[in-house]
A and B are shown apart, each in its own frame.
Chain A
Amino acid sequence: MSRPPLRLTVNGAPHELPDVPGEERLLDTLRWRLGMKGTKEGCRTGDCGACTVLIDRTSVLACLTLAHEVEGGSVTTIESAGEPTLERARAAFQAAGALQCGYCTPGFVVALAGLLAERGASVTEEELLDGLQGNLCRCTGYAAIVRAVRGAREGAP
């Protein structure tokens, strides 16, 4: 059964992907079809947040999102460059040393970027921390991540 190609923009680059089956997950489209491994596969049950990406600047779990549900949409992953809230989040994590193994890190950075974009300049630290509870980390104990969030918020333009 032929279907029209799936059109989506990933980190600003347009893609037309032919023959993407209905059951394909956005996570697999990104990692295996487009070869973009920055978004991580963790639990694959929506509980860990490692696969967080932005769709139209809103965070979603790519493991539980069908690729075709994003038709015409704009996806932002950790591999993006130049998107202001994402760069702010990334810089804050680097400055705070808020990573160890780094596997949860793309999900956290993207989730934080999504919250900063969604909530804007008046967002409180508490709202940001509350909004990140869907991202699990096993290495840092979250302490350095909390410091990074503080730094990202203070770095607001």
Chain B
Amino acid sequence: MSSVVRPDGAEKLAGRAVYGTDLDVPGMRWAALVPAPVAHGRIRRLDLAGARALPGVVAIGPKELAELLPGAAGDPERPLFPPDEIAYLYQPLAAVAAPTLAAARAAVGRVHIEVEPLAVVADLESVFPEWPGSEAGGSPHVAAHVRARHGPVDAAFAAADRVVRETYRTGSIHQVALEPHACLAEWQDGTFRVRTSTQSPFGVREDAASILGVPESSIVVEGTWVGGGFGGKGASLLEPYAMALAVAARAPVRLALSYAEEFRLGRTTLPSVVRFETAVTDGRIAARRVQLLLDVGNSLPGRDFATGYAIGFLLGPYRTPAFEIEGYAVRTNKPPFGPHRAPFAPQCAFMVESHLGEVARQIGVDPEEFRAAHLWRSGDTTPLGQPVGAFGLGAALDAARATARRWRAEAPPGRGIGVGVGFWSTSTGAGAEVRLRLAPEGLTVVQGEREIGSGSVLVGVRAVAARATGLPPGRIGIEYADTARAPYDSGVFGSRTTAAMGRAVLEAWAALRTTLAERLRLPPDTLLALAEDGPAIVVEGGGRRAPVASVLTAEERGAGGLETKGRHFGSGGAIDPQRVLDGSFYPYTDFTGAAHVADVSVDRATGAVRVERYAAFHDLGTTIDAASARAQVEGGIAMGLGTALTEEALWDDSARLENPGLLDYRIPTLGEVPPIEVTLLPGHPGAGPFGAKGIGEPPIIPVPAAVAAAVADATGAHVTELPLTAERVARALKLL
């Protein structure tokens, strides 16, 4: 049983951990972004002279940027500052740096902007009030169109016993990491040194190089501690501005967002409208049609990741003999759609589960039984033809149903019990490299990710190394190094970190074992392990036992130890191209599933929902570290409760966010999260080390579905919109 005590606990609890917002160096300048005053318009004039007139202020716009960094025009699709057309409200048009934040803000106020307003597209339903016809794919309002089809869809619908049609809507949510984005950039002798709160230092390097038109080799990124990411800190947002200002100011530049800016500029999940049609024959799904309209904000054509990725989730983890799915990525005047935790998957699971629950009810079948009858099993393929692999959702659902039965029997009258399932595609394939360094007194994993909080690096990777080598975790160090010195890693996202980095550790360990065997004159495949011997580490195996010190060369001892490298790049099965009619679908890779149970009480007079208790069953493969896995499940469920019940970012007709703050955008407080039972199910190994599967994102996915099912169970209310606000439940209860 793993310890709950965190290795980073002491430093964080002493207030010594330095986050992006804490960066502070002598001579530091404070930066601020100059916001576009409208959501859509042509820039007629951008005059920075007034700002520059203030003492100590540097100001850069598109012109100045081109002079400072001529390559910055290199990627015309991603200009740092839009040269002529504003795409969303508060879009940065220029940036300033000054000796104090007050001076920077005053300078922003002195920038003179003249704009010719253009019509604002605030809402995807204003683009497509009706479902788009075939001509819509060519519309400038569409960033992507995807369509796939398989099986005798039309025939199945024509022959169906019953067809159920429903439309669902989901809203906009935000990651709400407590720490806003923040970074510090310095520029010296042609090299940028960037310290930033990020989920991906190498990603920042790559993005910033592309945006500024400079070589990656001229940028060194060092991650600070991160005050929450949840997908919002996976790509570069602020760094290029700070870097450009550092060149202009010839001084270190700090740029952090205010919390209102976090909401206004953040890239996150945007609204959707989804239409389902399900044909049922003999109590089974015969065919399905799904149409998705997804607001992707200012995403550029070809750059939208969401639609081709999301749409597979709208079929759910279910066997579907025939289907047609179609999605439009609709452009609006908002910041581009960006990744949230399990991007858009909780919304999809809510919609699929609620719809299939309704289908089951209409044909008189128990909704949970209906799900179980269609659920993917190990060895199945997805609707797009990818192998599901070893998949434990069936076991999770069985366990969830048993809990639901027990809770129904125990619950006081008026309570509702609901089950929701979801699946996830973890990005274990995204590349990871590590180095292992074996020294006389310890083993160190040298890698390029800052622990962002989940424990995936400090606890998870360490646990993999411990299990592989035999050393206790306390003798294994995790060394974080910046992008100049660390091996490459894709980033902490996609529930991949422990799995991908762990596989790289295993490979590095295999190389280390081979080298040690050689030095001990043992056959190369001898099973060797490491062990403690007082303060020293010994190598054991093949009848030998030797202190590490004795098998290192003098050079290695001088260099800190013997180093080996390991890397991991994976891929999943291909999508069947025959099934794709248009656009590109993002291939799923390593599958994991989860089934949740929610027990709710509903205030019958107001529609307010209170979750009284909750249970989660996760197909985790092998548990690498139980304490941190459990913590991820607890945290993901709380986030899911926010998505389910209270979180909505409200955009008005001029594409202005009405609630860019933590009073009006409501994440769950301590009193709203119920007791949660967590069960981690082994038995269906994944692509991670020892058969592990990722756990960072799966916990959020089934939550809105489970809560909605419980509300329906309690009251019969069938809500087809997220979040389930009290008013929506009240309307579904016909109280108004």
- Direct chain A–B contact by Cβ atoms under 8 Å: yes
Q: Which A positions have Cβ atoms within 8 angstroms of B?
A: 31-32, 35-45, 47-48, 50, 77-79, 90, 93-97, 99-106, 109, 129-130, 132-133, 135-146
Q: In the complex the two chains form, is B636's CB within 8 Å of A37's CB?
A: no
Total A-B pairs, Cβ < 8 A: 160
What chain B residues lie within 8 Å of A41 (beta carbons)?
A: 21
Q: Provide the bound-state CA to CA distance between A43 and B4, in Å.
A: 29
Q: In the complex the two chains form, is B5's CB within 8 Å of A100's CB?
A: no
Q: Evaluate whether A43 and B5 lie within 8 angstroms (CB atoms) in the complex, with A141-B637, A144-B634 already known.
A: no
Say whether B547 faces chain A, with CB atoms less than 8 Å apart. no
9 A-B contacts (beta carbon < 8 Å): A45-B662, A97-B627, A102-B13, A102-B453, A106-B13, A136-B667, A140-B638, A141-B636, A143-B634
Q: Provide the bound-state CA to CA distance between A139 and B632, in Å.
A: 8
What chain B residues lie within 8 Å of A103 (beta carbons)?
A: 19, 177-179, 227-228
Interface members, chain B 219-259 (any A CB < 8 Å): 225-230, 258-259
Shortest beta-carbon distance, A53 to chain B, in Å? 11
Q: In the complex the two chains form, is B259's CB within 8 Å of A132's CB?
A: no
Sort A-B residue pairs by CB-CB distance and give the 7 closest, nearest first: A38-B15, A101-B453, A103-B227, A141-B638, A97-B4, A102-B12, A78-B15
Closest to A32 in B: B24
What chain A residues lie within 8 Å of B667 (beta carbons)?
A: 136, 138
What chain B residues lie within 8 Å of A95 (beta carbons)?
A: 4-5
Q: In the complex the two chains form, is A77's CB within 8 Å of B638's CB?
A: no
Closest to A42 in B: B178
Closest to A147 in B: B4
DSSP class of A's interface residues: helix, strand, loop or mixed? loop
Shortest beta-carbon distance, A105 to chain B, in Å? 6
Shortest beta-carbon distance, B56 to chain A, in Å? 17
Binds A, one of B67-75, B117-125, B669-677: B669-677
Q: In the complex the two chains form, is A42's CB within 8 Å of B179's CB?
A: yes
Other-chain contact of B12, A42, A99, A144 (Cβ < 8 Å): A99
Say whether B18 faces chain A, with CB atoms less than 8 Å apart. yes
Q: Provide the bound-state CA to CA distance between A133 and B452, in Å.
A: 24
What chain A residues lie within 8 Å of B15 (beta carbons)?
A: 36-39, 77-79, 106
Q: Provide the bound-state CA to CA distance between A129 and B662, in Å.
A: 20
Q: In the complex the two chains form, is B24's CB within 8 Å of A105's CB?
A: no
Q: Which B positions have Cβ atoms within 8 angstroms of A?
A: 3-6, 8-10, 12-19, 21-22, 24, 176-180, 225-230, 258-259, 452-455, 627, 631, 634-639, 661-663, 667-671, 673, 675-676
What chain B residues lie within 8 Å of A99 (beta carbons)?
A: 6, 9, 12-13
What chain B residues lie within 8 Å of A129 (beta carbons)?
A: 670-671
Closest to A134 in B: B669
Q: In the complex the two chains form, is B22's CB within 8 Å of A37's CB?
A: yes
Closest to B665 in A: A47
Closest to A21 in B: B102
Q: In the complex the two chains form, is A141's CB within 8 Å of B5's CB?
A: no
What chain A residues lie within 8 Å of B4 (beta carbons)?
A: 95-97, 144
Q: In the complex the two chains form, is A79's CB within 8 Å of B14's CB?
A: yes
Q: In the complex the two chains form, is A100's CB within 8 Å of B21's CB?
A: no
Closest to A77 in B: B15
Shortest beta-carbon distance, A36 to chain B, in Å? 8
What chain B residues lie within 8 Å of A78 (beta carbons)?
A: 13-15
Q: In the complex the two chains form, is A143's CB within 8 Å of B676's CB?
A: yes
Closest to A149 in B: B670
What chain B residues lie within 8 Å of A96 (beta carbons)?
A: 4
What chain A residues lie within 8 Å of B663 (beta carbons)?
A: 45, 47
Other-chain contact of B13, A50, A109, A139 (Cβ < 8 Å): A109
Q: In the complex the two chains form, is A141's CB within 8 Å of B178's CB?
A: no
Q: Evaluate whether A140 and B635 lie within 8 angstroms (CB atoms) in the complex, with A79-B14, A129-B670 already known.
A: yes
